[in-house]
Structure 1
């Protein structure tokens, strides 16, 4: 081993110490190479040095192709996540719709898997040619190249040379395109009702007490005859079935908003329905019903009010011939509504009686909670009450409040409602016998009786009537709500109600069809994973490989590609001989034989210019 040099001789032949700047730079040793790679590199020509043969796991690892497979698997998982998350979700909640995300993911997967297939097919082709245990024939080289060229080529290759990894991967990758239509079917759109609870909105203006003299004006005889202007319009809107309007602000709600509004109204206090039996008239009793009527249906309304300071009542008397109650004698507010109806069929005769039902009700001014449906156009729809004849009661009008309301003037706060109900729902349906023909003749007051009647057998005496109380009650509820909204004062903060309710909205939602999703995921994963075996043996290759015609041709050592390294890549071949001119045509080979092939343009003749020369032998 020689000692390191420590001195040097200058231009005048004088010896001087060797400076650090004069020392040659240290050159790092190249990475260790296998014995086979060293022999190949040593015996190659000078051009070989720029493309050394360097096999190994990490030097030859197919990073881009492996990343493509990995990303494909991740995107496939993303397809599952998007579909599961989209299932039963609101269509409007997605900034980018799930079908678009699935389409992007499937397109990206298809591109990446095809990229991985191209690289894997190249590795498998070159590795097969180098495998010492498997001798490759020319036809094997061709069909393994063709197997990566599409579905038909892959099938043909399998029938010709048998099943191969390349043919399987190419077939599955081609079939993978079916994942797009499958994913289109993986999500569909339907509608369903969405319910959000505890949503506040408002204010909605509604009076909790009707102002004095709101309803009607009296005659000089103290009978209630004419509705006021406000209540007259309420009556008109009720009879015309106009929308119930309100003053307020309910912007920001969607769909159907249901809530309860505490406002002025009426409490319906009714007795249970009582059965009344009328027995048959017996022998000789027919004539009794000639003078005495049998009331089969009755709806009677009466209203009286008197303060302590007044000596007489303001009133709305029943319109019927057969009133069910007499006038009260004590001061206060008295609102009577009485009903009778025949619930079952059957005629009154000598041996058979009839059954009637009766119910007596009283109406009291109150604050009640109306269940309503609120719309954004400031309209309200009154919903059915929670019980048969009653909304939720908040408070009743006290006796003192009633006395203050009834101040002796020629007007009435609640008389307008009594006037409307009396003319709209007062009705009476009675029967008498005809004294000559022994038949029944009806007498009818008010068309409300016909509204509640049915005709099982087509006979007047056999008519059946439905309970009239629910119809009258619904009218009282609606008129009470219309009155509370009409009497509201938007400048009175106590009338502004901030309500809390539920939003019911019909929304479009995605529905996952998991069968189609599973099919798309299956073909995608099979295709992506089928590419992985093609990379087997990549560490045996000493350079990057591809299916470039230049690389393949160079492996067959043609004269046109001489002068470059035998293991040069396509890029190295292009740098070395890319500018060299060639022409396909008739060339002369050793022995004076003319063949078709690649040659120098100066020594190549186009086949059409050969004239009558001998026939050519094609080797291409």
Structure 2
């Protein structure tokens, strides 16, 4: 240790007592060390240049730093000549280039070997890290504008605009065709919910940062703000309940009103906007034409071949005719193959094969059933069996009265148009006495207009389930086969005969009447007796509608089936070069330019504009309120009330607030002011505030008492923030304060890097020395170290 330092340390306390002007009593001025740390090349060059002119070492010990008043060990004498100044200018190249150049001497602090002593940063072989003084920026510095609020507000308005664009894009759009950029087919309600959540998050972020900005701006205005507003400003921003509480007390009114508006708009926004878009069924019609491969009628001789020696009416069915009957029995969909462009949900009218109902006649036959037929002298019983239900299908000449009566083996029989005759006898009266009705109709082969409906799979169905809705276009000629010829009318008759012919006959049984059946019809169309007509055998329904509807269904299937076979035949003709016959055959097959009406039902998004605009209006309440309050605090007060702007980024971090209250190294209040504040209560008055001031303000006062400096440090600085914040710039942001603490920790733990468990820690509990609940700082941050205890149950604190 050099003689100069020894001389400094040999001074008594009477020589180190500072006055309010920042001088020791012996007249030595207190020199504050300038920053050693520089983030730029210019600062480093300046530090190196300045160290060549001054070489300072500290004496004494305070807060882990040897300090007893700063005194240069060697310096240029006061009477330096012009040459020396020129030499300084060469060694300090930035002196004239930078108006803000700090020409104060750079202090190199000696690192103490005592535990918990000074923290270091490598700025030379033995430099100690001290945060550099940070300049206060201009009020209109773009860097320190409230970007953390303005940017989220801009994004918040963008999110609201995106919600409006989603609703606009969804208006009257089919659900199946919906798509949205980036997310694809995610449905509009989901997208609106996402934008609503994003708006809430961005608005909360903007409000949080605006809340911080407003507090610091208000604190900087002339007169400041009441200290209780530290609480109410925070409470007013902590949700609806806190805002109402602060508002009722008349504190932090602006921030509380904005918080209430944000809370209310956040609740109402989502339901209003999402309910603005709904799904509705929209029905519309499309007109057009289509070409359909359907025969207008069936060809005579296409159904099968007659064999006079087989003992039956038919020897075989044509393959296509058989397939059509099998499809009918299986109730398979009626499919139109070979459509170039299927028509979806189309209604149209086409020609097809069917029967015209002609010359229907009716007659009645009486019946009388006696319940007790074998009792009494006046008993009369039926002499023969009674038929109550019978369906008979036969072939008949179209006009028998004009052609006479021919045997079916006569050749003249094969050149006369033929039809099918149906005879239906049934009991229509539920009583035991009444009449049976016989109805006879002639079915003439014809070309009919069928009203069909086609789905999107090229399957067709009848628009009406009643055969009476079909319109007869013209009659067609189908003749009975002669000997071994082919026929179509004969297979058609056999189809109905085997499907519908049936009989139900009443006969005299053993001691009573009974019923015998042949075929399914007698069972299927029988209806039970009504009350009061027991043992009268009920009634039978008329199967004629079912017969006609079956012929209707089969006729359309036959028209489509034969058209398919004729198309294949035409393609074969065209393949061998017979284009003329192929085209002629296709003219019979195809029904061209058939007009259709496509009745379509589409699910579409519909936007309720009233709910949409109401939701958007509610969405703007929170962001606009935040923006207006922020702009007023930032620009309005600056322009009209002279309130200064913020020269750096601020936060409500406890470390930043503590640094503003109690920080050292240029932070907090001046040293002289701190001395005055710390002595506001007479020593020994027992005032609690005196003890608190002694533990906080005095902890950062540059006061060095005689005696053991380490004990002094432990008494005044242990478990407080004072030594942690010592050397930190008063103009540091929260992140810069944290950086300062971390670098200080690195210095305390050596050059090996930050050791997490050595970082200072904070504990909350009862401090034994004061008996109060308090935060305490554990300087070394050792694991398991405890400086306070937990409160005891019902302990008065």
Fold-level similarity (TM above 0.5): yes
**1:385-534 equivalent positions in 2, closer than 5 A:** 385=464, 387-397=466-476, 410-432=485-507, 437=511, 439-456=512-529, 461-488=536-563, 489-490=566-567, 491=570, 492-494=585-587, 495-497=589-591, 499=594, 501=596, 524-534=619-629
Gaps of 5+ in 2: 1-101, 104-132, 181-186, 371-375, 571-584, 639-643, 669-696, 706-711, 729-743, 749-758, 762-768, 778-797
The question of whether the paired residues in 2 share the 8 Å contact of 1:304 and 1:333 is answered with yes
Distance 1:166 1:451, change over 3 A: same
Q: Give the alignment's TM-score, normalised by structure 2.
A: 0.52
Aligned to 2:232: 143
The question of whether the paired residues in 2 share the 8 Å contact of 1:310 and 1:408 is answered with no
SS of 2:422's equivalent in the other structure is: strand
Distance 1:238 1:208, change over 3 A: same
Residue 365, structure 1, aligned to residue 445, structure 2: yes
- List per-residue Cα deviations over 1:142-171 (Å, max 9, x = no partner): 532564466786577568774622134335
Q: Give the alignment's TM-score, normalised by structure 1.
A: 0.64
Q: Which has the higher contact order (CA 8 A, sep 6+)?
A: 1
Distance 1:468 1:260, change over 3 A: same
Residue 539, structure 1, aligned to residue 620, structure 2: no
The question of whether the paired residues in 1 share the 8 Å contact of 2:354 and 2:556 is answered with yes
The question of whether the paired residues in 2 share the 8 Å contact of 1:427 and 1:445 is answered with yes
Aligned to 2:426: 341
Q: Partners of 1:371 and 1:513 in 2: how far apart?
A: 39
SS of 2:300's equivalent in the other structure is: coil
SS of 2:665's equivalent in the other structure is: helix
Q: Partners of 1:410 and 1:191 in 2: how far apart?
A: 61
Distance 1:197 1:433, change over 3 A: farther
**1:52-71 equivalent positions in 2, closer than 5 A:** 52-53=138-139
SS of 1:560's equivalent in the other structure is: coil
**1:93-132 equivalent positions in 2, closer than 5 A:** 93-96=177-180, 97-129=187-219
**1:12-91 equivalent positions in 2, closer than 5 A:** 51-53=137-139, 72=156, 75-76=159-160, 79=163, 82=166, 86=170, 90-91=174-175
- List per-residue Cα deviations over 1:496-519 (Å, max 9, x = no partner): 346555667787666889999899
Distance 1:258 1:526, change over 3 A: same
Aligned to 2:740: none
Distance 1:107 1:237, change over 3 A: closer
Aligned to 2:113: none
Aligned to 2:395: 303
Distance 1:431 1:111, change over 3 A: same
Distance 1:313 1:478, change over 3 A: farther
Aligned to 2:293: 205
Q: Partners of 2:339 and 2:388 in 1: how far apart?
A: 49
Aligned to 1:290: 383
The question of whether the paired residues in 2 share the 8 Å contact of 1:340 and 1:357 is answered with yes
Distance 1:607 1:525, change over 3 A: closer
> Which stretch of the first structure deviates more once superposed, 277-286 or 368-377?
277-286
Q: Partners of 2:521 and 2:617 in 1: how far apart?
A: 70
TM-superposed CA distance for 1:473, in Å, is: 0.9
TM-superposed CA distance for 1:480, in Å, is: 1.0
Distance 1:362 1:585, change over 3 A: farther
Q: Partners of 1:619 and 1:448 in 2: how far apart?
A: 102
Q: Partners of 2:544 and 2:205 in 1: how far apart?
A: 80
From 665, 669, 673, the equivalent of 1:560 is: 665
Q: Partners of 1:416 and 1:285 in 2: how far apart?
A: 52
Q: Partners of 1:73 and 1:285 in 2: how far apart?
A: 105
Distance 1:607 1:478, change over 3 A: closer
TM-superposed CA distance for 1:476, in Å, is: 0.5
Q: Partners of 2:318 and 2:462 in 1: how far apart?
A: 27
Give the number of the structure whose residues are more often strand, by fraction: 1
Aligned to 1:247: 337
TM-superposed CA distance for 1:452, in Å, is: 0.9
Aligned to 2:356: 267
TM-superposed CA distance for 1:387, in Å, is: 4.2
Q: Partners of 2:407 and 2:282 in 1: how far apart?
A: 54
SS of 2:382's equivalent in the other structure is: helix
The question of whether the paired residues in 2 share the 8 Å contact of 1:270 and 1:359 is answered with no
The question of whether the paired residues in 2 share the 8 Å contact of 1:204 and 1:250 is answered with no
TM-superposed CA distance for 1:242, in Å, is: 4.3
Aligned to 2:727: 600
Q: Partners of 2:427 and 2:377 in 1: how far apart?
A: 25
Residue 215, structure 1, aligned to residue 309, structure 2: no
Bigger CA radius of gyration: 2
RMSD over equivalenced CA pairs, Å: 5.6
Q: Partners of 1:62 and 1:344 in 2: how far apart?
A: 97
The question of whether the paired residues in 1 share the 8 Å contact of 2:343 and 2:454 is answered with no
Distance 1:476 1:517, change over 3 A: same
Q: Partners of 2:315 and 2:760 in 1: how far apart?
A: 117
- List per-residue Cα deviations over 1:296-352 (Å, max 9, x = no partner): 32322221358999994659xxxxxxxxxxxx999432322232333442212xxxx
Aligned length: 519
TM-superposed CA distance for 1:429, in Å, is: 2.8
Q: Partners of 2:562 and 2:498 in 1: how far apart?
A: 23
The question of whether the paired residues in 2 share the 8 Å contact of 1:121 and 1:534 is answered with no
> Which stretch of the first structure deviates more once superposed, 162-171 or 175-184?
175-184
SS of 1:442's equivalent in the other structure is: strand
The question of whether the paired residues in 2 share the 8 Å contact of 1:267 and 1:364 is answered with yes
